[in-house]
Structure 1
């Protein structure tokens, strides 16, 4: 599995966004940096139970991620048409207005090393990637346990301080300053 310090693979992956029209041949070029942080999170499968709670949770914080110079990118190993149908079926998912990678060929999921061997779907993996496309944080949950999007935002903010931050540090709190001996 790729980890902290590794570079995000510069792949072009099919992407689906919105509910205005059927998916076309759009792709997202993960090699582009645009000077922004990326928060990439995978869920196992569309039309399931835990996944929509995470997607909606991240969608509700999209503006906060943007304020912190980060783009939100969701992903699963479903197709863009399945993503589109799921968004069409649920107003809360339709409102989760950020790109959803349709990694049904598992190019990115395999490159990241996050495919569950028996189930053939991605784990609930979260990657925070800096503006140089270097992975700065990775967390992976099993298929049955949802994530906390607010914790991902907290970690992003902590990483952006480029300082030492204590356990449970929150924005606005002091960072740690070692005393010189």
Structure 2
């Protein structure tokens, strides 16, 4: 079953952020855009490249009013150790949620039950707590944070402009579509 257009489920977790441990719940994102960026494990190979790429886009996401939460089934203590030992991970300013109870990974239906690890999954949650898009890739396929920012802009545009939709490869400022009977068969 798809999670698109469904509300996120309640959760409680501890995250590492900016040198401290912070408690995080679903209530923390009420009224805000949020990205939940799941990855298999700390101290691995593709994961730090993705998290570093996302860190490079964090200022732009903040400008768009989007909070970012990376999530793995590691503990917040492991996140702190990784943050302190890796130059790439040390640049991260967003919250790194520890999910050792597997609750959040199960809530987002991204958990590999037989391994206790999350798949690579990205979820955009709107200010109403509704999941607007998901992306899931296989273990060895890293994601692109620039494309993630583009999708966020498209989701925000559609939310702010009822009756319009963003076509493929739409970039901010480009033309959108207004679906209607007159448009059928003309694209």
TM-score normalised to the size of structure 1? 0.91
Task: Write 1 or 2 for the structure with the bigger share of strand.
Answer: 2
Map 1:55-66 onto structure 2 (within 5 A).
55-66=51-62
**Residue matched to 1:78:** 74
| 1:178 CA drift (Å) | 3.7
Please state if 1:167 is matched with 2:148. Answer: no
Tell me how far apart the structure 1 counterparts of residues 153 and 25 of structure 2 sit (CA, whole Å).
25
Aligned residues: 177
Structure 1: which 4+ aligned runs deviate by more than 6 Å? none
Query: What secondary structure is seen at the aligned counterpart in 1 of 2:53?
Result: helix
1:154-175 Cα offsets, whole Å, 9 max, x none, are 1110011113111111111111
Query: What secondary structure is seen at the aligned counterpart in 1 of 2:117?
Result: coil
**Residue matched to 2:146:** 150
**Unaligned residue ranges in structure 2 (runs of 5+):** 159-163, 183-187
**Residue matched to 1:136:** 132
Q: CA RMSD in A?
A: 1.6
Tell me how far apart the structure 1 counterparts of residues 114 and 140 of structure 2 sit (CA, whole Å).
14
Tell me how far apart the structure 1 counterparts of residues 25 and 125 of structure 2 sit (CA, whole Å).
14
Query: What secondary structure is seen at the aligned counterpart in 2 of 1:9?
Result: coil
Q: Which has the larger displacement, 117-126 or 129-138?
A: 117-126
Tell me how far apart the structure 1 counterparts of residues 136 and 71 of structure 2 sit (CA, whole Å).
14
* Residue of 51, 61, 64 corresponding to 1:68: 64
Please state if 1:124 is matched with 2:120. Answer: yes
| 1:30 CA drift (Å) | 1.5
**Unaligned residue ranges in structure 1 (runs of 5+):** none
